[in-house]
Amino acid sequence: MSEPARRWHAGGCHCGAIRFEAELPQAFEVEDCNCSMCAMSGNIHVIVPSSRFRLLQGADNLTEYTFNTRRARHLFCKTCGIKSFYVPRSNPDGFAVTWRCLDDWADLDVTISPFDGQNWEANAGRLAHKSKD
């Protein structure tokens, strides 16, 4: 079976200090997680392998927040406070890109899938494959 066609999509935070690119297939799934962090912030994200993510600018303008197990690295712009991507606990070898932080998010062919992050331990395993090339 052939690999789906992919292309690079640019994105960033609200103020423009953080800019990145993520390589995504033409159609993809985004996770609508109900864990405490995602539910409170309204985050809907797509997980990509680290090889399919490039931070273009703003590394020095990121601040990190961790909680609970301290394995997820939530990264925020120091200027505007937006979390445009982070390193998820489920996929420490990848990035969770906030779908609506992609410049062309409204034009992308996505399927929004609910993810039960409130029952993290029972469900996290179904995300592990998403950060593999």
Q: pLDDT for 14-31, tens place per residue? A: 999 999 999 999 999 999
Residue 114: the pLDDT is: 97
pLDDT band at 3 (very low <50, low <70, confident <90, very high): confident
Asked if residue 121 belongs to a domain, the reply is yes
User: Residue 9 belongs to what H/E stretch?
Assistant: strand 6-12
| Sheet containing strand 53-57, strands side by side | 6-12, 19-25, 53-57
Percent of the chain with pLDDT over 70: 98
The verdict on residue 1 lying in a domain is: no
CA distances (Å), origin 108, targets 15, 42, 91, 112, 122:
22, 19, 23, 11, 30
> What is the 3-state composition of the chain as percent helix, strand, coil, each rounded to the nearest 5?
25, 45, 30
Query: How far is residue 131's CA from residue 79's CA, in Å, rounded to a whole number?
Result: 29
CATH of residue 55: 2.170.150.70
Residue 131 inside a domain? The answer is no
31-77: pLDDT as tens digits: 999 999 999 999 999 999 999 999 999 999 999 999 988 888 999 99
Is residue 23 in some structural domain?
A: yes
Query: In the chain, how many domains are there?
Result: 1
Task: Specify if 132 maps to a domain.
Answer: no
For residue 120, being part of any structural domain is answered with yes
Region class of 41: left (phi > 0), else alpha (psi between -120 and 50), else beta: alpha
Place of tokens 């273009």: 56
- Which range of residues forms the domain containing residue 116? 6-125
Contact 97, 22 (CB under 8 A): yes
Judge contact between 60 and 77, C-beta under 8 A.
no
Average pLDDT, the chain: 95
